[in-house]
Structure 1
Amino acid sequence: MIGFIPLGLVLGAQAREKGFNALEVPLLTGLNFAGGSEFAAINLWTSPPHLLLLMGVTLLINSRHVLMSATLTSFLKNIPRFKILLALAFMCDETWALALGDARARKKEGLCPSFSLPYYVGVATGLYLAWVGFAVLGTVLGPVVGDLTRYGFDMAFPAVFLVLLRGMWSGPRKAAPWVVSGVVGAMVYLALPGAWYVPAGAVSGIIAAWWTTRT
Protein backbone atom coordinates (compact mmCIF):
# COMPACT_ATOMS: atom_id res chain seq x y z
CA MET A 1 0.00 0.00 0.00
CA ILE A 2 2.88 2.34 0.74
CA GLY A 3 4.29 1.62 -2.72
CA PHE A 4 0.96 2.65 -4.24
CA ILE A 5 1.20 6.16 -2.78
CA PRO A 6 3.78 7.61 -5.22
CA LEU A 7 2.35 5.61 -8.13
CA GLY A 8 -1.16 6.90 -7.52
CA LEU A 9 0.03 10.48 -7.07
CA VAL A 10 1.99 10.41 -10.34
CA LEU A 11 -0.91 8.86 -12.27
CA GLY A 12 -3.37 11.39 -10.88
CA ALA A 13 -1.07 14.30 -11.67
CA GLN A 14 -0.47 13.06 -15.23
CA ALA A 15 -4.20 12.53 -15.73
CA ARG A 16 -4.88 16.08 -14.55
CA GLU A 17 -2.41 17.38 -17.14
CA LYS A 18 -4.41 15.56 -19.82
CA GLY A 19 -7.64 17.22 -18.69
CA PHE A 20 -9.08 14.58 -16.34
CA ASN A 21 -10.89 15.86 -13.27
CA ALA A 22 -11.27 14.46 -9.74
CA LEU A 23 -14.38 12.49 -10.78
CA GLU A 24 -13.01 10.96 -13.97
CA VAL A 25 -9.78 9.72 -12.38
CA PRO A 26 -11.51 7.39 -9.87
CA LEU A 27 -13.62 6.07 -12.74
CA LEU A 28 -10.45 5.27 -14.67
CA THR A 29 -8.60 3.70 -11.75
CA GLY A 30 -11.62 2.08 -10.09
CA LEU A 31 -13.15 0.41 -13.13
CA ASN A 32 -9.90 -0.70 -14.75
CA PHE A 33 -7.66 -1.16 -11.68
CA ALA A 34 -4.52 -2.07 -13.60
CA GLY A 35 -1.78 0.51 -13.24
CA GLY A 36 0.27 -0.37 -16.31
CA SER A 37 -2.61 0.06 -18.75
CA GLU A 38 -3.79 3.21 -16.96
CA PHE A 39 -0.39 4.87 -17.35
CA ALA A 40 -0.33 3.79 -21.00
CA ALA A 41 -3.83 5.17 -21.60
CA ILE A 42 -2.92 8.51 -20.04
CA ASN A 43 0.28 8.76 -22.10
CA LEU A 44 -1.66 8.00 -25.29
CA TRP A 45 -4.61 10.24 -24.44
CA THR A 46 -5.53 12.89 -26.99
CA SER A 47 -8.54 15.12 -27.53
CA PRO A 48 -10.54 13.56 -29.04
CA PRO A 49 -9.15 10.20 -27.87
CA HIS A 50 -8.24 7.39 -30.26
CA LEU A 51 -10.56 4.86 -28.67
CA LEU A 52 -9.54 1.81 -30.71
CA LEU A 53 -5.86 2.39 -29.94
CA LEU A 54 -6.61 2.85 -26.23
CA MET A 55 -8.78 -0.26 -26.14
CA GLY A 56 -6.17 -2.33 -27.98
CA VAL A 57 -3.29 -1.25 -25.76
CA THR A 58 -5.36 -1.81 -22.62
CA LEU A 59 -6.38 -5.28 -23.81
CA LEU A 60 -2.80 -6.27 -24.59
CA ILE A 61 -1.36 -5.00 -21.32
CA ASN A 62 -4.13 -6.47 -19.18
CA SER A 63 -4.03 -9.81 -20.99
CA ARG A 64 -1.33 -10.87 -18.53
CA HIS A 65 -4.16 -11.24 -16.01
CA VAL A 66 -5.32 -14.30 -17.95
CA LEU A 67 -2.04 -16.05 -17.21
CA MET A 68 -1.92 -14.72 -13.65
CA SER A 69 -5.39 -15.97 -12.76
CA ALA A 70 -4.65 -19.33 -14.40
CA THR A 71 -1.88 -19.93 -11.85
CA LEU A 72 -4.49 -19.70 -9.07
CA THR A 73 -6.80 -22.33 -10.59
CA SER A 74 -5.57 -25.26 -8.51
CA PHE A 75 -6.12 -23.27 -5.30
CA LEU A 76 -9.70 -22.17 -6.11
CA LYS A 77 -11.41 -25.51 -6.66
CA ASN A 78 -13.45 -25.49 -3.44
CA ILE A 79 -14.62 -21.86 -3.66
CA PRO A 80 -18.00 -20.97 -5.25
CA ARG A 81 -17.63 -19.60 -8.76
CA PHE A 82 -19.43 -16.30 -8.09
CA LYS A 83 -17.02 -15.56 -5.22
CA ILE A 84 -14.05 -16.35 -7.47
CA LEU A 85 -15.28 -14.06 -10.25
CA LEU A 86 -15.97 -11.23 -7.82
CA ALA A 87 -12.57 -11.62 -6.17
CA LEU A 88 -10.66 -11.76 -9.45
CA ALA A 89 -12.35 -8.55 -10.60
CA PHE A 90 -10.21 -6.78 -7.98
CA MET A 91 -6.99 -8.61 -8.80
CA CYS A 92 -3.89 -6.61 -9.66
CA ASP A 93 -0.27 -7.69 -9.91
CA GLU A 94 0.47 -7.09 -6.23
CA THR A 95 -2.71 -8.79 -5.00
CA TRP A 96 -2.02 -11.78 -7.21
CA ALA A 97 1.60 -12.12 -6.09
CA LEU A 98 0.73 -11.88 -2.39
CA ALA A 99 -2.25 -14.26 -2.69
CA LEU A 100 -0.25 -16.82 -4.67
CA GLY A 101 2.61 -16.70 -2.15
CA ASP A 102 0.20 -17.09 0.75
CA ALA A 103 -1.62 -20.00 -0.94
CA ARG A 104 1.64 -21.83 -1.60
CA ALA A 105 2.75 -21.30 2.00
CA ARG A 106 -0.57 -22.56 3.38
CA LYS A 107 -0.46 -25.60 1.10
CA LYS A 108 3.08 -26.40 2.25
CA GLU A 109 1.88 -26.25 5.85
CA GLY A 110 -1.00 -28.60 5.06
CA LEU A 111 -3.74 -26.03 5.67
CA CYS A 112 -7.08 -26.52 3.94
CA PRO A 113 -8.23 -24.64 2.02
CA SER A 114 -4.85 -23.44 0.86
CA PHE A 115 -6.35 -20.30 -0.65
CA SER A 116 -7.47 -17.89 2.07
CA LEU A 117 -10.32 -15.78 0.74
CA PRO A 118 -10.30 -13.44 3.79
CA TYR A 119 -6.58 -12.81 3.26
CA TYR A 120 -7.16 -12.09 -0.43
CA VAL A 121 -10.09 -9.76 0.27
CA GLY A 122 -8.08 -7.88 2.89
CA VAL A 123 -5.14 -7.38 0.55
CA ALA A 124 -7.31 -6.49 -2.45
CA THR A 125 -9.43 -4.00 -0.51
CA GLY A 126 -6.45 -2.19 0.97
CA LEU A 127 -4.65 -1.93 -2.36
CA TYR A 128 -7.79 -0.91 -4.26
CA LEU A 129 -8.65 1.91 -1.87
CA ALA A 130 -5.03 3.10 -1.74
CA TRP A 131 -4.72 3.14 -5.52
CA VAL A 132 -7.97 4.97 -6.23
CA GLY A 133 -7.59 7.33 -3.28
CA PHE A 134 -4.05 8.48 -3.98
CA ALA A 135 -4.74 8.81 -7.71
CA VAL A 136 -7.52 11.23 -6.84
CA LEU A 137 -5.19 13.03 -4.44
CA GLY A 138 -2.69 13.32 -7.28
CA THR A 139 -5.20 15.26 -9.36
CA VAL A 140 -5.47 17.76 -6.51
CA LEU A 141 -1.77 18.02 -5.65
CA GLY A 142 -0.47 17.90 -9.21
CA PRO A 143 -1.18 21.54 -10.10
CA VAL A 144 0.14 22.64 -6.69
CA VAL A 145 3.51 20.83 -6.55
CA GLY A 146 4.15 20.59 -10.30
CA ASP A 147 5.84 17.64 -12.00
CA LEU A 148 5.95 14.86 -9.39
CA THR A 149 8.46 12.86 -11.41
CA ARG A 150 11.19 15.35 -10.55
CA TYR A 151 11.02 13.98 -7.00
CA GLY A 152 11.66 10.45 -8.28
CA PHE A 153 8.11 9.24 -7.60
CA ASP A 154 7.95 7.52 -10.98
CA MET A 155 10.72 5.13 -9.88
CA ALA A 156 8.22 3.50 -7.52
CA PHE A 157 6.59 1.76 -10.49
CA PRO A 158 9.60 -0.30 -11.64
CA ALA A 159 10.71 -0.72 -8.01
CA VAL A 160 7.44 -2.43 -7.05
CA PHE A 161 7.70 -4.84 -9.96
CA LEU A 162 11.35 -5.62 -9.27
CA VAL A 163 10.39 -6.60 -5.72
CA LEU A 164 7.56 -8.78 -7.06
CA LEU A 165 9.85 -10.46 -9.57
CA ARG A 166 12.43 -11.16 -6.90
CA GLY A 167 9.80 -12.83 -4.75
CA MET A 168 8.59 -14.95 -7.68
CA TRP A 169 12.02 -16.04 -8.88
CA SER A 170 12.09 -19.82 -9.34
CA GLY A 171 14.92 -20.32 -11.83
CA PRO A 172 16.26 -19.02 -15.16
CA ARG A 173 13.96 -21.13 -17.33
CA LYS A 174 10.74 -19.73 -15.89
CA ALA A 175 12.17 -16.21 -16.10
CA ALA A 176 12.53 -16.44 -19.89
CA PRO A 177 9.26 -14.52 -20.58
CA TRP A 178 10.50 -11.67 -18.36
CA VAL A 179 13.72 -11.42 -20.35
CA VAL A 180 11.99 -11.64 -23.72
CA SER A 181 9.41 -9.02 -22.75
CA GLY A 182 12.08 -6.66 -21.42
CA VAL A 183 14.41 -6.99 -24.41
CA VAL A 184 11.64 -6.64 -27.01
CA GLY A 185 10.11 -3.70 -25.16
CA ALA A 186 13.48 -1.93 -24.95
CA MET A 187 14.22 -2.50 -28.64
CA VAL A 188 10.82 -1.19 -29.76
CA TYR A 189 11.19 1.80 -27.41
CA LEU A 190 14.47 2.72 -29.10
CA ALA A 191 13.24 2.03 -32.63
CA LEU A 192 9.70 3.43 -32.74
CA PRO A 193 8.12 6.64 -31.44
CA GLY A 194 5.13 6.57 -29.13
CA ALA A 195 4.10 3.80 -26.72
CA TRP A 196 4.31 0.81 -29.07
CA TYR A 197 6.93 -0.71 -26.78
CA VAL A 198 4.14 -1.42 -24.25
CA PRO A 199 2.04 -3.80 -26.39
CA ALA A 200 5.21 -5.20 -27.99
CA GLY A 201 6.61 -6.16 -24.59
CA ALA A 202 3.27 -7.54 -23.44
CA VAL A 203 2.66 -9.68 -26.53
CA SER A 204 6.21 -11.01 -26.70
CA GLY A 205 6.10 -11.93 -23.01
CA ILE A 206 2.83 -13.83 -23.45
CA ILE A 207 4.16 -15.69 -26.50
CA ALA A 208 7.35 -16.58 -24.62
CA ALA A 209 5.32 -17.83 -21.64
CA TRP A 210 3.16 -19.96 -23.93
CA TRP A 211 6.20 -21.35 -25.73
CA THR A 212 8.07 -22.27 -22.55
CA THR A 213 5.06 -24.17 -21.19
CA ARG A 214 4.89 -26.21 -24.40
CA THR A 215 8.57 -27.09 -24.35
Structure 2
Amino acid sequence: MSQDDISPIAEILLGARDMLPMTLAASTYGIAFGLLATQSGFSLLQILSMSAFVYGGSAQLVALDQLVAGAGVGAAVLAGAALNMRVLLITASMRDAMVGRPWWQVLMGVYLATDASIALMQTGKSRRALSSYWYLFGGGTSLLIAWIFTTSIGGILSKGIPDPTRFGLDFALVAVFVAMLPGLWRGRADILPWIVAGGTVLTFATMFPAQSSWALILGAVLGGVTAGVVRGD
Protein backbone atom coordinates (compact mmCIF):
# COMPACT_ATOMS: atom_id res chain seq x y z
CA MET A 1 0.00 0.00 0.00
CA SER A 2 1.46 3.33 -0.99
CA GLN A 3 1.29 6.09 1.61
CA ASP A 4 0.54 8.55 -1.21
CA ASP A 5 -2.86 6.91 -1.70
CA ILE A 6 -4.09 7.06 1.90
CA SER A 7 -5.23 9.82 4.25
CA PRO A 8 -3.46 10.67 7.53
CA ILE A 9 -6.46 9.38 9.54
CA ALA A 10 -6.31 6.04 7.75
CA GLU A 11 -2.54 5.87 8.35
CA ILE A 12 -3.07 6.52 12.08
CA LEU A 13 -5.65 3.72 12.27
CA LEU A 14 -3.37 1.34 10.38
CA GLY A 15 -0.49 2.15 12.73
CA ALA A 16 -2.69 1.45 15.76
CA ARG A 17 -3.87 -1.82 14.20
CA ASP A 18 -0.37 -3.03 13.38
CA MET A 19 0.83 -2.08 16.86
CA LEU A 20 -1.93 -4.14 18.52
CA PRO A 21 0.20 -7.27 19.25
CA MET A 22 2.84 -5.16 21.00
CA THR A 23 0.15 -3.14 22.76
CA LEU A 24 -1.33 -6.31 24.24
CA ALA A 25 2.11 -7.53 25.30
CA ALA A 26 3.01 -4.18 26.90
CA SER A 27 -0.28 -4.20 28.80
CA THR A 28 0.78 -7.26 30.78
CA TYR A 29 3.90 -5.67 32.23
CA GLY A 30 2.11 -2.33 32.48
CA ILE A 31 -0.21 -3.90 35.05
CA ALA A 32 2.77 -5.44 36.85
CA PHE A 33 4.54 -2.08 36.96
CA GLY A 34 1.48 -0.32 38.37
CA LEU A 35 1.01 -2.98 41.01
CA LEU A 36 4.63 -2.90 42.13
CA ALA A 37 4.84 0.89 42.03
CA THR A 38 1.89 1.19 44.39
CA GLN A 39 3.35 -1.42 46.72
CA SER A 40 6.57 0.63 46.72
CA GLY A 41 4.73 3.73 47.93
CA PHE A 42 3.76 5.45 44.65
CA SER A 43 0.38 7.17 44.52
CA LEU A 44 -1.93 6.69 41.55
CA LEU A 45 -1.15 10.25 40.41
CA GLN A 46 2.59 9.53 40.55
CA ILE A 47 2.11 6.36 38.50
CA LEU A 48 0.08 8.29 35.91
CA SER A 49 2.66 11.08 35.75
CA MET A 50 5.60 8.72 35.39
CA SER A 51 3.89 6.67 32.68
CA ALA A 52 2.88 9.78 30.73
CA PHE A 53 6.07 11.82 30.99
CA VAL A 54 8.73 9.09 31.05
CA TYR A 55 6.86 6.70 28.74
CA GLY A 56 9.58 4.09 28.91
CA GLY A 57 8.69 0.67 30.24
CA SER A 58 12.22 -0.59 30.80
CA ALA A 59 13.42 2.79 32.13
CA GLN A 60 10.49 2.98 34.56
CA LEU A 61 11.18 -0.54 35.80
CA VAL A 62 14.86 0.23 36.36
CA ALA A 63 14.04 3.49 38.18
CA LEU A 64 11.49 1.69 40.36
CA ASP A 65 13.98 -1.06 41.13
CA GLN A 66 16.49 1.57 42.27
CA LEU A 67 13.94 3.23 44.54
CA VAL A 68 12.89 -0.09 46.06
CA ALA A 69 16.57 -0.94 46.64
CA GLY A 70 16.96 2.26 48.66
CA ALA A 71 18.77 4.42 46.10
CA GLY A 72 17.99 8.11 46.09
CA VAL A 73 15.56 9.74 43.69
CA GLY A 74 18.45 11.30 41.75
CA ALA A 75 20.12 7.94 41.20
CA ALA A 76 16.82 6.38 40.11
CA VAL A 77 16.16 9.18 37.60
CA LEU A 78 19.68 8.98 36.22
CA ALA A 79 19.45 5.20 35.85
CA GLY A 80 16.19 5.45 33.92
CA ALA A 81 17.45 8.33 31.80
CA ALA A 82 20.68 6.49 30.97
CA LEU A 83 18.73 3.44 29.83
CA ASN A 84 16.51 5.63 27.66
CA MET A 85 19.59 7.11 25.95
CA ARG A 86 19.21 4.35 23.37
CA VAL A 87 16.26 6.33 22.00
CA LEU A 88 18.76 8.94 20.77
CA LEU A 89 20.25 6.21 18.61
CA ILE A 90 17.08 4.58 17.32
CA THR A 91 15.51 7.90 16.32
CA ALA A 92 18.10 8.10 13.54
CA SER A 93 15.90 5.67 11.60
CA MET A 94 13.02 8.18 11.80
CA ARG A 95 14.86 10.81 9.77
CA ASP A 96 12.92 10.30 6.54
CA ALA A 97 9.55 10.53 8.30
CA MET A 98 10.52 13.75 10.11
CA VAL A 99 12.00 15.77 7.26
CA GLY A 100 9.89 18.84 6.50
CA ARG A 101 7.63 18.43 9.53
CA PRO A 102 6.74 21.35 11.86
CA TRP A 103 8.80 21.43 15.07
CA TRP A 104 5.88 20.32 17.23
CA GLN A 105 5.34 17.24 15.07
CA VAL A 106 9.03 16.41 15.30
CA LEU A 107 8.90 16.69 19.10
CA MET A 108 5.79 14.53 19.23
CA GLY A 109 7.42 11.94 17.01
CA VAL A 110 10.52 11.79 19.22
CA TYR A 111 8.31 11.52 22.31
CA LEU A 112 6.44 8.57 20.79
CA ALA A 113 9.66 6.87 19.68
CA THR A 114 10.06 3.53 21.46
CA ASP A 115 11.66 0.23 20.55
CA ALA A 116 8.21 -0.97 19.49
CA SER A 117 7.23 2.04 17.36
CA ILE A 118 10.58 2.13 15.57
CA ALA A 119 10.35 -1.62 14.96
CA LEU A 120 6.87 -1.01 13.52
CA MET A 121 8.25 1.50 11.04
CA GLN A 122 11.09 -0.80 10.06
CA THR A 123 8.64 -3.65 9.53
CA GLY A 124 6.54 -1.39 7.34
CA LYS A 125 9.58 -0.55 5.23
CA SER A 126 10.52 -4.21 4.85
CA ARG A 127 6.98 -4.98 3.65
CA ARG A 128 7.08 -1.92 1.38
CA ALA A 129 4.03 -0.78 3.27
CA LEU A 130 3.53 2.36 5.32
CA SER A 131 6.41 3.89 7.24
CA SER A 132 5.20 7.48 7.40
CA TYR A 133 4.95 9.97 10.23
CA TRP A 134 1.22 9.40 10.78
CA TYR A 135 1.71 5.65 10.76
CA LEU A 136 4.28 6.09 13.56
CA PHE A 137 1.91 8.49 15.34
CA GLY A 138 -0.95 5.98 15.28
CA GLY A 139 1.15 3.10 16.56
CA GLY A 140 2.97 5.15 19.19
CA THR A 141 -0.16 6.87 20.49
CA SER A 142 -2.11 3.63 20.85
CA LEU A 143 0.79 2.10 22.78
CA LEU A 144 1.06 5.19 25.01
CA ILE A 145 -2.65 5.15 25.87
CA ALA A 146 -2.54 1.42 26.67
CA TRP A 147 0.57 1.88 28.83
CA ILE A 148 -0.95 4.71 30.89
CA PHE A 149 -4.24 2.83 31.27
CA THR A 150 -2.75 -0.51 32.31
CA THR A 151 -0.21 0.93 34.75
CA SER A 152 -3.12 2.76 36.39
CA ILE A 153 -5.16 -0.44 36.51
CA GLY A 154 -2.23 -2.20 38.15
CA GLY A 155 -2.04 0.54 40.75
CA ILE A 156 -5.76 0.24 41.51
CA LEU A 157 -5.70 -3.57 41.69
CA SER A 158 -2.78 -3.54 44.13
CA LYS A 159 -5.05 -2.10 46.82
CA GLY A 160 -6.44 -5.60 47.30
CA ILE A 161 -2.99 -7.23 47.73
CA PRO A 162 -1.68 -6.16 51.15
CA ASP A 163 1.36 -8.47 51.14
CA PRO A 164 2.95 -8.85 47.67
CA THR A 165 5.74 -11.13 48.98
CA ARG A 166 3.11 -13.69 49.97
CA PHE A 167 2.26 -14.15 46.30
CA GLY A 168 5.82 -13.89 45.04
CA LEU A 169 5.15 -10.47 43.52
CA ASP A 170 8.34 -9.08 44.97
CA PHE A 171 10.11 -11.05 42.24
CA ALA A 172 7.72 -9.86 39.53
CA LEU A 173 9.81 -6.76 38.78
CA VAL A 174 12.81 -8.87 37.81
CA ALA A 175 10.65 -11.40 35.95
CA VAL A 176 8.88 -8.71 33.93
CA PHE A 177 12.14 -7.01 32.95
CA VAL A 178 13.65 -10.33 31.85
CA ALA A 179 10.52 -11.01 29.79
CA MET A 180 11.02 -7.64 28.05
CA LEU A 181 14.56 -8.43 26.91
CA PRO A 182 13.61 -10.38 23.73
CA GLY A 183 11.59 -7.37 22.58
CA LEU A 184 14.64 -5.14 22.97
CA TRP A 185 16.80 -7.45 20.82
CA ARG A 186 17.28 -6.09 17.29
CA GLY A 187 19.86 -8.46 15.86
CA ARG A 188 23.50 -9.53 16.05
CA ALA A 189 24.68 -5.92 16.10
CA ASP A 190 23.34 -5.77 19.67
CA ILE A 191 25.66 -8.52 20.92
CA LEU A 192 28.69 -6.32 21.64
CA PRO A 193 26.72 -3.43 23.23
CA TRP A 194 24.89 -5.90 25.48
CA ILE A 195 28.17 -7.54 26.49
CA VAL A 196 29.73 -4.14 27.26
CA ALA A 197 26.69 -2.98 29.24
CA GLY A 198 26.29 -6.25 31.16
CA GLY A 199 30.01 -6.62 31.81
CA THR A 200 30.25 -3.04 33.07
CA VAL A 201 27.34 -3.52 35.47
CA LEU A 202 28.71 -6.79 36.86
CA THR A 203 32.25 -5.45 37.21
CA PHE A 204 31.27 -2.17 38.86
CA ALA A 205 28.73 -3.81 41.19
CA THR A 206 31.32 -6.41 42.26
CA MET A 207 34.07 -3.89 42.86
CA PHE A 208 31.86 -1.26 44.51
CA PRO A 209 28.86 -3.04 46.05
CA ALA A 210 27.92 0.00 48.14
CA GLN A 211 27.53 2.05 44.94
CA SER A 212 25.91 -0.65 42.82
CA SER A 213 23.03 1.61 41.75
CA TRP A 214 25.49 3.63 39.66
CA ALA A 215 26.52 0.47 37.83
CA LEU A 216 23.30 0.61 35.80
CA ILE A 217 23.96 4.18 34.75
CA LEU A 218 27.54 3.50 33.71
CA GLY A 219 26.55 0.27 31.94
CA ALA A 220 23.75 1.99 30.02
CA VAL A 221 25.99 4.86 28.93
CA LEU A 222 28.87 2.65 27.77
CA GLY A 223 26.46 0.22 26.11
CA GLY A 224 24.77 3.09 24.26
CA VAL A 225 28.11 4.54 23.12
CA THR A 226 29.18 1.11 21.92
CA ALA A 227 25.92 0.66 20.01
CA GLY A 228 26.44 4.03 18.32
CA VAL A 229 29.95 3.07 17.22
CA VAL A 230 28.91 -0.40 16.03
CA ARG A 231 25.92 0.88 14.08
CA GLY A 232 27.68 3.98 12.82
CA ASP A 233 24.93 6.30 14.16
Which residue, out of 211, 214, 220, partners 1:196? 214
Gaps of 5+ in 2: 1-22
Gaps in structure 1 of 5+ consecutive residues: none
Distance verdict in 2 for CA 1:157–1:56, change over 3 Å? closer
Partner of 1:30: 52
Q: CA RMSD in A?
A: 2.9
Distance 1:31-1:126 versus aligned 2 partners, 3 A rule? same
Q: Aligned residue for 1:45?
A: 67
Q: Could you tell me which residue of structure 2 aligns to residue 125 of structure 1?
A: 141
Conservation of the 8 A alpha-carbon contact between 1:7 and 1:153: no
Indicate the residue corresponding to 1:105 in structure 2: 126
Of 148, 153, 160, 1:137 maps to: 153
**Structure 1 position 201, deviation (Å):** 2.3
Higher helix proportion, which one?
2
The alignment covers a number of residue pairs equal to 203
1:1-215 maps to which residues of 2 (within 5 A)? 1-45=23-67, 50-102=72-124, 104-105=125-126, 109=128, 115-145=131-161, 146-147=163-164, 150=168, 154=173, 155-165=175-185, 168-169=186-187, 172-173=188-189, 175-191=191-207, 192=209, 194-213=212-231
Residue 3 of structure 1 contacts residue 156 of structure 1 at CA under 8 Å; is this kept in 2?
no
**What TM-score results when the alignment is normalised by the length of structure 1?**
0.78
8 Å CA contact 1:37, 1:57 repeated in 2? yes
Cα distance, 1:209 vs. partner?
2.0
Aligned partner letter, 2:25: G
C-alpha separation between the residues in 1 aligned to 2:180 and 2:190?
20
So what's the TM-score if we normalise by structure 2? Answer: 0.72
Retained in 1: the 8 A contact 2:63–2:80?
yes
Tell me the CA shift for residue 79 of structure 1.
3.6
Give the residue type in structure 2 aligned to 1:129: I
Residues in 1 aligned to 2:147 and 2:228: alpha-carbon distance in whole angstroms: 31
**Offset from partner CA, 1:10-66 (integer Å, 9 cap, x none):** 2112211222121221011111111222122222337x9834323322331221111
Q: Which moved further from structure 2: 121-130 or 75-84?
A: 75-84
Distance 1:188 1:89 in 2: 31
**Secondary structure of 1:23 counterpart:** helix
% same residue: 20
Shift of 1:74: 3.8
CA distance in 1, matches of 2:52, 2:198: 28
**Which digits, 9 at most, give the CA deviation of each residue in 1:161-183, with x for residues without a partner?**
31341xx32xx455321332233
